Structures are given as C-alpha cells and as structure tokens.
Structure 1
Amino acid sequence: MLDLGLESLVTYNPLAIGLGATLEEALNSMDEYHFHHLPVVDDKRRLVGIVSDLDIRRAGDAKELTVADVMTPAPESVTHNSPPLDALRLMLERRFHSVPVLEAGKLLGIITSTDFLREFSYGGAGSSEPIADHLLGDEYYVDGEASVDEAIRAMDELEIDYLAVLKGSCPVGVIPRRTLTVWKEFSQPTGASHVKAMQLAATNVPALLPSDRLQDAARKMLDRGVTAILVADRANQFVGLITDREILSVMAERLEEA
C-alpha cells in the first residue's frame, strides 16, 4: 500500500486563486469545478491561504472585498517528499479533506481524502476487514421527522459530521453537517423551522451489510461520490454508519504498523 510514495497520489498543478481575485470570481470557480475550497497563491505561486465557499458566502454582498480579506492565511501543508502517512494523519487530525503539497514554498499539487480512499479500494492491509469491526453504531441516527436543530444537536452530542436518517428502524438517507450548516446560514427562509431532516437528507446513499469489507465500502463511496455509507442487516434494519474517516483511520493504522 502506497509503496510509490506521496507523488503517486498528488494532483499536480491544481486550480488556485490569486490574492486579489474578487469573491465572485472565486465562488464561480468553485461552482464550476464543484470544489468547496481553493488554495490562494501570490504572483510567484507561493501558497498564502485557503478560501472556502462558506468563507465567501458569510461575507455577504461585500463587493469591495477580495479573497485576501476572507481567506484562512498560512494553511497547513505537506511537502512533495513527505511520507504519505504525514498527509493522511493531517487529514484525520484536523478533519481536512484536502491538503496542499508544496515544493520550496510553492504550490505543487493537492492531495485529497478521495486519493487515499481510491488507493485503499485497490486492496492491501486492512481492506478485507469487515465493516462491522469499524462502523459507527446504531446510535448514530436521527429520525426523519426530527427538525434541523435537533439533527445539529445530535451531531454535536455525538461529535460526528454525519447521521443516518431513519424512517422507523429502516435507513433512508444520510445527512451531513455541511448540508445543515449551509441550509441554516444561507437557505433557511423566515419561519421555516418546520423543515425536517428527511427533506435535507441525501437519499442516493447505498447500504451495505456489516459483513461486507471495508474495501467494498471504499468502492461504493467512490462510485457514488459520497463519503458515508449506510449499514443495514438483511431485513434492512439500521445497524450503523461507515464514513471515509473510519476507513482512512484503518489505513493510517496499517501504515503505522508496516
């Protein structure tokens, strides 16, 4: 696993945005390429920040602002010759989904959690372990009739970024924290407290059996473009949830043992 080093996973010459770009320009680039973050570089392509779509949306209609005004400066990064485990640990410890890769301070590439997930899907240490040994258990859910605020409180109490959404005891979808945050901050109409978790849940999420392998879960995530998978028994009763974080944690543990 990862015998070829970090360079085999990196996306080189990634899309970046300049310090003086307008917020509209940055948001348009993110929307076009379906990104949530962009690295910010100076005129010598040195990494100086990271800007997210939430940073921009929270600035409102302040047309006089530039990316430099809302970005997170001096973001954490790895170098092109760092061990893959360094990037993976950084993602897990800081809950990042991407990490800039530098060479002499300049932006060389980006490595993402999807890159590691894809590598895991090919097989190797830990990939044949059953989902049941690593899943988030049957308390990681919210009823489909719960309010958005109730779903957020449940996530906070469980310290998790995803919840299964159930109808009765059957899983019908997954709701990510990001979806709830975006809805509450930017989409919630006045007096819309009646909106239920089920209305915001992603319902295209497949379900796997507890006996299926972690490799199966990684492949399903890549195939469907999701980062969480429902786990149910053969009677479609909810058993738990497996996210890319649990899979990548296993990957990191096996790399540390190697």
Structure 2
Amino acid sequence: MKVQPGVSKSKKAQQKDPHTISSMGTMRIGPEFKSRISEHEGKILALATRNVVTLPPTATIMEAIKIMTEKRFRRIPITDAGTRRLEGVVTSVDIIDFLGGGTKNLLVENRFKGNLLAAINTEVRQIMETNIPYLNDQADFKDAVSMMVEKRTGGLPIVNNNMQVVAIFTERNAIELMGGLVTNRTVDEYMTENVKMVSTDTPIGQAAKVMVSNRLRRLPVVKDGIFAGIVTSSDIVHFLGRGDAFTKLTTGNIHEAFDQPVGSIVSRELIWTEPGTDLGKAMEIMLEKKIGSLPILEDGVLRGIITERDFLRSLLE
C-alpha cells in the first residue's frame, strides 16, 4: 500500500425570496478567532469523529454506495477485516469516476465488457485510493489542517501506532470549531472566482465528468444564466443509491440514469451569502444547513463560491 506518512479555491441570479439565506442579521460575538484555534492544539482525537464506519477491501462497490447514501458520507476508510489496519479510502468522487465520470470507468469497459451490474458487485479495492494521507493519533489541530490543505483532501483517517483506524478528521470537524465567531475576514478574500458551471439541462453523467476531470466535488448550476443551485459528487451518489435510479443502477442501465438533467437533483432551496459576510457567519450558515460550500452573490450576480477547504486555508494565515 502507498499510504503517505502522516504528520511525518456570469450572470444574474435569482432574487431574494423567503427560502433564501443571506448574510444579514445579528451574529453572536464569540472568542477571538486565533484564540479558538490555539485552544485546540494537540487535541486531534478530541476533535475527530471516533465512531468510524469502515469497509474491508472485499466489500462490494455497491455496499459502499449504499453506506454513502444511507449515512450521507463523502468518504469511507478501507481497512483490513482482521487487523483494522488502514489500506485505503473510497470517496464519492471515486464512485462517480467509476460509474462513468472518468478513467476508473475503464474497469467497467475493459474488465467487465461494459457489464455494470457485474462491475458494481466487484470489490471496492478495485477503485479505492491507496496513496492517501493520514495522521497519527498524537497529531494536533494544525497538523490536520495543514495536511488537508496541502493534499487537497476533505478528510484524514487517524491511526494508532499499529496503523489501525481509530478516528477520522474532516473539514466539517474543523469548521464546527469556528462557526459563528467573528474573524474579521470576509468571504470574498478567500472565495474561488471564475468557477466552472453547468446548466440545469446538462446530463448528470456529463456533470460527473466535469467534476472528475477538474478534481472538483461541486459545481454551480445555472438556468438561462440564472443561478439555480449547486450539485455535488455526493448528490450524484445519493441520487444513484435510491429510488428509480438505484433500480437502473442494479439492473445495469446506468446510462439511463446518467442521462437525466442535473437540474433534477439540485436542491430547490437556494442558500447563499454576500461578499462582505464574515467567515465565521458563513461557516455558521453552512453548518446550520449542512452544506459544504456557499455561493457568493452580489446584486443578484454569482461572484464566486467559498468551500470548507477555503475556510481551512484561512486558518493557516
């Protein structure tokens, strides 16, 4: 296994409506931003998620899809069934890559001759990432944030000296520490501008390909140039893991599901904020709504998008 050693970033949008979250309102005043960070140095296990759901390498890809759908996970550590030693990680991006979004789909075409039903019942080890970063359980908060930003990953397995997974630390764990604090930094300082977008009538399969080829977990969606929402890799996996799409998946007719327009799986509730919003308030909105990114609109125009990873970058400055 090649596990890497641990420790050792248009046009008019819809106007405000009753379902829209904006940056306006009173924000509670909490401890200083830097002070909150220093409070948690050396306490990675105290901040991480301890009850980690893992899968053995012999579990099927379909099992991974089911767990991601039921638990709304983005990633699952893959561990040896006997020793619980870390062997890899499978993410929602790996799943959509395999189902037709990227090069991992070659496994379906070459090994299984296009038989998706057989392919989704193969072992998850076939698509998991093995060259992954991780952290030792003695690591601190800054180690975790630095590694996630450097490696462009949204989560780090935490292992003991025997390489057994004891916890997982995610971008969401870090953001939970900061939501609602006054940071004296605004979202427009850290947001990604000139973001890639797709239209509501773009096939889900095509949106998946854009994500995989550009190493993106999410894409803004527009209709006639008007901002309509955001679609994520997890949205696609959850769509495929339930209802009619799941039936199509299990019968091998994935192309029928992937041909549906991406607008059909975008949330109808538009959640956004404005360029001058404090980072702490933006994090609070994301935590409340359980989302991993926030569009930035100004006078109805999409200016950019801020993600959990952008928040992590701000913690390192």
TM-score by length of 1: 0.76
Amino acid at match of 2:141: P
Instruction: Give 3-state SS (helix, strand or coil) of 1:17's partner.
Output: coil
Q: Which residue identity does 2:288 align to in structure 1?
A: D
Give the alignment partner of residue 287 of structure 2, picking from 198, 210, 222: 222
Offset at 1:106? 1.3
SS in structure 2 at match of 1:110: strand
Consecutive unaligned residues of structure 1, counting only runs of 5 or more, are 254-258
Cα displacement (A) at 1:14: 0.9
8 Å CA contact retained: 1:171, 1:230: no
1:100 to 145, 157, 160: 157
More strand by share: 1
Structure 1 residue aligned with 2:139, among 62, 82, 88?
Answer: 82
| Deviation, structure 1 residue 131 | 1.6
- How much identity, in percent, do the aligned residues show? 19
Q: Secondary structure at the match of 2:175?
A: helix
Aligned-partner Cα distance in 2 for 1:144–1:67: 32
Deviation per residue, 1:175-212 (Å, 9 max, x gap): 336657998xx7542994xx655445444341111111
What SS does the aligned partner of 1:72 have? coil
Q: Which has the higher contact order (CA 8 A, sep 6+)?
A: 2
| 1:240 Cα deviation from its structure 2 partner | 2.3
Matched, 1:212 2:277: yes
Moved more, 30-39 or 244-253: 30-39
Give secondary structure in 2 for the equivalent of 1:31: helix
Matched, 1:3 2:31: no
CA shift, 1:78, in A, is: 0.5
Task: Give the ranges of 4+ consecutive aligned residues of structure 1 lying more than 6 Å apart after TM superposition.
Answer: 149-159, 180-183
Distance 1:72 1:141, change over 3 A: closer
**Match for residue 256 of structure 1?**
none
Q: Which residue number corresponds to residue 188 of structure 2?
A: 132
Show CA shifts across 1:192-241 (max 9, x none).
4xx655445444341111111111111111111211212223x4233322
From 172, 182, 203, the counterpart of 2:228: 172
Structure 1 match to 2:112: none
Name the amino acid aligned to 1:236.
G
Q: TM-score normalized by structure 2?
A: 0.63
The separation in 2 between residues aligned to 1:160 and 1:216, in whole angstroms, is 24
Seen in structure 2, the aligned counterparts of structure 1 residues 196 and 238 have a Cα distance that, compared at 3 Å, is: same
2:72 corresponding residue in structure 1: 34
Distance 1:134 1:65, change over 3 A: closer
Q: Please tell me whether residue 111 in structure 1 is matched to residue 169 in structure 2.
A: yes
State the Cα RMSD in Å.
Answer: 3.6
Return 5+ residue gaps in structure 2 as ranges. Answer: 1-36, 100-104, 109-115, 241-248
- Partners of 2:207 and 2:130 lie apart in 1 by 32
